Chains A and B, each alone.
Chain A
Amino acid sequence: MVSINNQLSEKKVTEKEIVVALAGNPNTGKSTIFNALTGLKQHTGNWPGKTVSYARGNYVHRGKSFVLVDLPGTYSLLANSIDELIARDFICFAKPDVTIVVTDATNLIRNLNLALQIMEATNNVVVAINLLDEAERKGIIVNIDKLSEKLGLPVVGTVARNQMGLNRLKDTIDDIVTKKIVTNPLKIHYPPEIEQKIQEMTPELENILKGELNPRWVALRILEGDKTLIDSIKQYLVYKEIDIKGEVALCH
C-alpha cells in the first residue's frame, strides 16, 4: 500500500516549509478557514488510493511560507472510518508543525472531545473556537481565556465566514512554530488500573517508538484494542527505517 506517504513526505520537499493541519468535527468551518487563508493557492484531489478528498494550500505570514492541509472532518481520532484513519495518520505520522482544531462554539461538548484526543497525540495544537456569531445568536458566551488556561493551549475565537480572528490565528500558529508560545496540553488522568497499565507498557513502547510517537497515547490505543494504529506504526515507522538507511524521503 503506497497510502498517504506522498502527502506525508511533503514536509521534506522544502525544508523551510511549515506544515499546518486543520482538524475538527464536520461542518465546523475548516474549509472556510482553509479557503480564507490560502485563497487560490490550493491543490485539491483525493488522498492516494482513497475516495476521500484532499486539499492543500499555501499562505505567507510574517514573511514565512506555510503549507495548510485541510483534513477530513471527524468526530474522533480512533480510526473508525477511513476519514478518521487519514486524519489520525496525518497528525501522528506526518507530524504537522501545528494542528489547528476547529471547533463549533455552539457545540463545544462534542468538539472539545476531539480536541482532547488530538492533544493526547500531539502538543502543538491551537484551538479555534469558530462560529462565534452563531453562538452569540444562541446566547452562548465562550470564555476564551479560561478555556485556554484549562486546556493549556492557545485558543482563538473566530468567525471564519467574516474572516474574524484569522490574523490572530496565523500569529498564534507562528508563535507555536517559533516557540514563543509553549503549549502544555491538559493531560487526562484515567482510573488507577489504566494508569498502572500505561506505566507498565511505557518503557517498552519508548524503545519501539524512539520518540516518534507519544508512548502514553499509543498505550491507551492498545488498551482500547485499536489494531489500526499498530498497522499504521508498522507501515510508517518501518518506512522511516528505510528512510534512515537510504535516501527515499518518506514520512517525517
Chain B
Amino acid sequence: MANKPLPLSNLAVGTKGKVESILIDGLLRRRLLDLGVVPGSVIEVVRVSPNGDPTAYLIKGALIGLRENEAKHILVHPI
C-alpha cells in the first residue's frame, strides 16, 4: 500500500477502500467502530442520495448511510 490514504468521502461510487484509520475521537468514533468501520475493513461506495448527502456504503455486509461530515474522518486506501 504505497498509495496515500484519502478520506472515504472522496471515493467515487462503485469503488472500494480499505480503512486505514479514523481521525476523530468521541461519540462519532465510537459510532463508526460500532458500525464495523475498523482498520482493515473494506468499504464499498454504493450510492449517493439525490441531494448528495448521505452516501450509502456497504460495510461488512450491511448497507449503511454516512454523511459527508462523518465519512470525511475515515481514511482509506483505495483498492
Seen from chain A, the residues whose Cβ lies within 8 Å of a Cβ on chain B are: 25-27, 75-76, 78, 80, 104, 106-107, 109-110, 113-114, 117, 224-226
Seen from chain B, the residues whose Cβ lies within 8 Å of a Cβ on chain A are: 26-27, 30-31, 33-36, 38, 60-62
CA distance A78 to B38 in the complex (A): 17
A78's partner among B34, B36, B60, B62 (CB-CB below 8 A) is: B34
Minimal Cβ-Cβ distance residue in B for A117: B34
A224's partner among B30, B36, B38 (CB-CB below 8 A) is: B30
**Interface pairs A-B: 9 shortest CB-CB:** A76-B34, A110-B36, A75-B34, A75-B35, A110-B60, A80-B31, A107-B60, A107-B61, A225-B27
Given contacts A78-B30, A104-B61, A110-B36, 6 further A-B contacts (CB under 8 A): A27-B62, A109-B36, A110-B35, A113-B33, A224-B26, A225-B26
CA distance A224 to B26 in the complex (A): 7
A75:B26 contact, CB within 8 angstroms: no
Minimal Cβ-Cβ distance residue in A for B28: A80
B61:A78 contact, CB within 8 angstroms: no
A226's partner among B27, B33, B34, B36 (CB-CB below 8 A) is: B27
Q: Which residues of B contact A80 (CB under 8 A)?
A: 27, 31
CA distance A104 to B62 in the complex (A): 12
A78:B26 contact, CB within 8 angstroms: no
B34:A109 contact, CB within 8 angstroms: no
Q: How far is the CB of A67 from chain B (nearest CB, A)?
A: 28
Q: How far is the CB of A114 from chain B (nearest CB, A)?
A: 7
Q: Which residues of B contact A114 (CB under 8 A)?
A: 34
Q: Can you give 11 A-B contacts (C-beta < 8 A)?
A: A75-B35, A76-B34, A107-B36, A109-B36, A109-B60, A110-B34, A110-B35, A113-B34, A224-B26, A224-B30, A225-B26
CA distance A56 to B72 in the complex (A): 40
Q: Which residues of A contact B36 (CB under 8 A)?
A: 75, 107, 109-110, 113
A76:B62 contact, CB within 8 angstroms: no
Q: How far is the CB of A120 from chain B (nearest CB, A)?
A: 13
Q: How far is the CB of B43 from chain A (nearest CB, A)?
A: 13
Minimal Cβ-Cβ distance residue in A for B38: A109
CA distance A219 to B31 in the complex (A): 18
CA distance A110 to B60 in the complex (A): 8
Minimal Cβ-Cβ distance residue in A for B40: A109
CA distance A109 to B62 in the complex (A): 13
CA distance A164 to B6 in the complex (A): 45
B35:A78 contact, CB within 8 angstroms: no
Q: Which residues of B contact A78 (CB under 8 A)?
A: 27, 30-31, 34
Q: How far is the CB of A206 from chain B (nearest CB, A)?
A: 25
Q: How far is the CB of B38 from chain A (nearest CB, A)?
A: 7
Q: Which residues of A contact B38 (CB under 8 A)?
A: 109
CA distance A117 to B34 in the complex (A): 10
